[in-house]
Amino acid sequence: MTTKEFKWPLRVYIEDTDAGGIVFYINYLKYMERARTEMLRAVGFDKNAVFSEDLMFVVRAANVRYRRPARLDDEVIATARIVESRAAQLIFEQRILRGAEELCGGNVNIACVDKNTLKPKPISKTLLVALNAL
């Protein structure tokens, strides 16, 4: 499964930056999380819908490359695109852009688990069909 690139606009606030007004590195992962969450919401699977199926998504691995800094008050776009899916995993290719310039990019491997046992659980077919329709 490969989906279209989902885009979510963000603005850099002072809380995102260090004393020099540059986005602190971990906040790029937060921006990526927001894009994945909004992508699921856009296809009708907000957190409540996922939890109602006793599922939970957890980050299994992240590989991030930092290229250029974002700065206080920048308008950026966080993107998310599924490049691979397995029974209980989704692999996202994600980027943080300022205009056409890529500031940060990488892959995030998300595991689907049972929210009570935290053991792998297959992703619902309904969700996969909705994501394919993006």
Q: What amino acid positions are annotated as catalytic residues?
A: 18
Half-sphere exposure of 35 (CA within 13 A, CB side): 29
* Nearest residue to 43 (alpha-carbon basis) of 74, 17, 80, 75: 80
Contacting residues for 61 by C-beta, under 8 A, at least 6 apart: 107, 108, 109
